[in-house]
Amino acid sequence: MNTQELVVGSRVAHPFHGEGIVTFVGTDYLGIDFDGSGEALIRRESLEKEEPIIPMAAESTREALPWPASTFVPEKTDAQHYLGSHWDPFVEDSADLMKRLPEMVPNALVQTGYGDGRKPSRSTPEDWPQGFQLVWPLRSQGLAMILHVEKEANMIISLFPFNAHGSQQTVTLREVSVWEGGLEAQITVGWNEAEVTFFDTQFVVNRAWYEAGRNYEFILAGLAYNAQPAEKREWTINRHPDEVAWMNRNLKEGEEPHEATCMIRMDGAAMFLPVEGWDVDDYSFHAPVKSVEEFKDWLGQDGWRVRATVMRFGDEDADLDILITRRAWSGEAPPQVGEDIEGRLWLQGYLWMPPKGLGYLLP
């Protein structure tokens, strides 16, 4: 498309945003009122490019496969998981906790969950590794142990801290990445308009219920590696002259014109971003706090369950419970409602309720 011929009132079609009417003509940008989605400032070059051919997404292809291949994907052979870092909020050296295993195992409880008493109506694949989960000292919080069932003896293959308290979220299951051994997994879901990946703390209990493309209720929580009151940050940015002219073209009487520079502040910002070079379930966050609740003696640590807004989708807040031990907190005072906090966390979750229509067999 030759955008030099466009004038206010011209009808155009954008390769991604659809059709609309030109409302503003600048040097490098055009204002377009898109049918049904409002007005936006668009670079000319985005209209001049040919519409891209978008290949079918891998997950769409997978969903066409029969279950379980539609949902469960073996992780890549070079995948790395930094499990030792999950103990940083609790102890200086994780070996100190491991020394207590002889005390923990005899007093551990079998973990229960949605799939514990409800078996899905479809058959579970016979070649899936068999295992179960023990927890200590409580089913609500503590240390979890994944055991592989073998003929000679049951073998502990994984240990991790867990907490059953979190925020209930409606998510769309995209993919289950199964770790080597078949008894642990990370789940990728659509959370409103975002996509996140979390470690499933009850995978061995609930795995037969998972099916890609369906909506589930999960309890999600972030275990903070570190957290602190957010630093005050601000930047001055220069606006493009077209942007200034576009914003100023319909000023009402008495309104101050927009200037060529503006100040950007992080106050109240909600951000949830993957940590480069870390595992896929590790995130950095900047979040305003909505509520604070103390907890006691989680593997020897007291701390706070902080509900904070980590993302926003239009007018809708995405709130996450962030579990912060005193060891992980760097503030002089406890977290406070109304303040912004920031840090890094490990995202974990477990199934609360499967979609309607997935039947189960009575025990």
Residue 50's pLDDT band, with cuts at 50, 70 and 90, is low
| Inter-residue contact 89 to 225 (CB < 8 Å) | yes
Please report the pLDDT score of residue 60 as a whole number. Answer: 59
| Inter-residue contact 330 to 341 (CB < 8 Å) | no
**What is the value of pTM for the model shown?**
0.81
Residue 307's pLDDT band, with cuts at 50, 70 and 90, is very high
| Inter-residue contact 41 to 54 (CB < 8 Å) | no
To the nearest whole number, what is the mean pLDDT of the chain? 90
CA distance 71 to 175: 5
Q: What is the pLDDT of residues 242-283, one digit of tens each?
A: 999 999 998 888 899 999 988 778 899 999 999 999 999 999
Residue 83's pLDDT band, with cuts at 50, 70 and 90, is confident
**Segment among 37-46, 126-135, 312-321, 330-339 with least mean pLDDT:** 37-46
Sign of CA dihedral 275, 277, 280, 282: negative
Please report the pLDDT score of residue 4 as a whole number. Answer: 87
Q: Note the helical H segments in 108-199.
A: 114-117
Please report the pLDDT score of residue 362 as a whole number. Answer: 45
Please report the pLDDT score of residue 357 as a whole number. Answer: 65
Is residue 36 scored above 90 in pLDDT? no
Q: Alpha carbon of 304 to those of 225, 349, 353: distances in Å?
A: 13, 18, 26
Is residue 121 scored above 80 in pLDDT? no
Higher pLDDT, 93 or 351: 351
Q: Note the helical H segments in 80-223.
A: 95-98, 101-104, 114-117, 203-206
Percent of the chain exceeding pLDDT 90 equals: 69
Provide the CA 273 distance to its chain's centre, in angstroms. Answer: 9
Radius of gyration of the chain (CA): 25
CA distance 303 to 89: 10
